[in-house]
Amino acid sequence: MTGADSGAFGVYVHWPFCLSKCPYCDFNSHVRHAPIDEARYARAFAREIETTAARIPGRQVTSIFLGGGTPSLMQPETVGAILDAIARHWRVAPGAEVTLEANPTSVEATRFAGYRTAGVNRVSLGVQALDDESLSALGRLHTAREALDAVAIARRAFDRYSFDLIYARPGQTPAMWAGELQRAISEAAEHLSLYQLTIEEGTPFFGLHAAGRLRTPDEATARALYDVTQEVCAAGGLPAYEISNHARPGAECQHNLVYWRGEEYAGIGPGAHARLDIDRDRHAISNEKRPKAWLMRVEARGNGVVTDDILNSEERGDEFLLMGLRLAEGIDPQRYTALSGRALDPDRIAMLREEGAITVDACGRLRVTQTGFPVLDAVVADLAA
């Protein structure tokens, strides 16, 4: 099924700039000391939207996600210009979810009303921790008070908002995390993203960790922290619908579901990725990551694409498993067969069921269990082998 006939089609737009680089982060984000020419970037975004829409005409956009980097550094007019360009080149479904990722500083919160006027209807705030000591250890530029004030401003400006926390931080115990989570749930209306701290190669945290100067929780503690996350969130009415995402039923992030369900999405901006269905083929597309180089490419040829590969059936099957098994709703093995041209191995399914890592329901849907989620990569590798 293509994005065009399944009904879901997302547009991701990447704003690649931040005020400072957090020591754990390996996203495509850059710090610039000179002012950024937002009008020039807005023109390039509009141009790339135009050329992308020309490749896949007739889609109806069901979700838009402005991610980063720090999109809340953009002026509301820039956000408005990007959303207008999307609406000029595609039909946007009534009530489409339009999310903007925001850092929770007081300066950025002053722009929330302008974003709403521009057409944003959901914000996702990078709160990361609810105490100042942890925030400073994470290299964040905001205090906990400032972040909670930004959450309160978001609550007034938008019907829908979410915030991110990072757990499994150095020195964090399950009891500390349970308390922090309870507080987070009381501040969250409908959605929380809870990411286990990962030590990414090339970041300052990687060097500190390798030198033994940054100690993350051992495996047993990490597992206990994960279990606490599931228990506290489920009891608070925000069960996990994806390995790191929790929502009240019905409040799931529609845009992220597009990725995990293997639907079609466009990627606009430096380093953005896309999956487009063209002539029955699925294209995996990636853009130039460096902002200036992306800008010059778009100005010269209309898009910033550096790789555009057609996925073969094996790759399509692997990607379907990798993304779909992150979801609590699991996958339909028949769709795997249709994409990959082969069925999942019944012996492997039986073995993983016996180990308690997966379940298969009466309709044949396959789901990863609470036991399986902490070792999801191994479960996927087993099924895909």
Ligand X SMILES: C[S@@+](CC[C@H](N)C(=O)[O-])C[C@H]1O[C@@H](n2cnc3c(N)ncnc32)[C@H](O)[C@@H]1O
Which residues of the shown chain bind ligand SF4 in the complex (CB under 6 A)? Answer: 18, 21-22, 25, 27, 29, 68-70, 103, 126
- Residue pair 85/50 in contact (Cβ under 8 Å)? The answer is yes
Question: Scanning residues 81 to 120, which ones bind ligand X (CB under 6 A)?
Answer: 101, 103
Number of residues interacting with ligand X: please give it, by CB under 6 A. Answer: 15
Q: Are strands 358-360 and 305-310 parallel, antiparallel or unpaired?
A: unpaired
* Choice between 256 and 340, CB closer to ligand X: 256
DSSP string, 103-119: ---HHHHTTHHHHHHHT
The piece of 197-205, 293-301, 356-364, 366-374 that touches ligand X (CB under 6 A) is: 197-205
DSSP state of 327: B
Nearest distance from C-beta of residue 368 to ligand X, angstroms: 20
* Choice between 21 and 353, CB closer to ligand SF4: 21
The piece of 45-53, 190-198, 230-238, 312-320 that touches ligand X (CB under 6 A) is: 190-198
* Choice between 205 and 260, CB closer to ligand SF4: 205
Buried b / exposed e over 195-204, threshold 16 CB at 10 Å, is: ebbeeeeebe
- Counting DSSP H helices and E strands in the chain, the numbers are 16, 16
* Choice between 19 and 176, CB closer to ligand SF4: 19
Nearest distance from C-beta of residue 279 to ligand X, angstroms: 33
Question: Scanning residues 8 to 27, which ones bind ligand X (CB under 6 A)?
Answer: 24-25, 27
Nearest distance from C-beta of residue 334 to ligand SF4, angstroms: 38
Nearest distance from C-beta of residue 116 to ligand SF4, angstroms: 22
Nearest distance from C-beta of residue 197 to ligand SF4, angstroms: 12
Nearest distance from C-beta of residue 200 to ligand X, angstroms: 5
How far is CA 52 from its chain centroid?
21
CA distance 322 to 320: 6
Of the candidate residues 132, 143, 149, 195, the single one contacting ligand X (CB under 6 A): 195
Q: Which does 198 bind (CB under 5 to 8 A by kind): ligand X, ligand SF4, none?
A: ligand X
* Choice between 274 and 344, CB closer to ligand X: 274
CA distances from 295 to 204, 270, 289, 306 (A): 28, 8, 10, 13
**Residues 6+ positions from 286 with CB-CB distance below 8 Å:** 267, 271, 272, 273, 274, 305, 306, 307
Nearest distance from C-beta of residue 55 to ligand SF4, angstroms: 28
Q: Which does 21 bind (CB under 5 to 8 A by kind): ligand SF4, ligand X, none?
A: ligand SF4
- Residue pair 269/16 in contact (Cβ under 8 Å)? The answer is yes
Structure-token match 């953009």, residue found: 74
What is the rounded end-to-end Cα distance, in angstroms, of the chain? 24
**Residues 6+ positions from 181 with CB-CB distance below 8 Å:** 165, 194, 228, 229, 232, 233, 236
Site residues (vs ligand X, CB under 6 A): 24-25, 27, 68, 70, 101, 103, 126, 128, 164, 166, 195, 197-198, 200
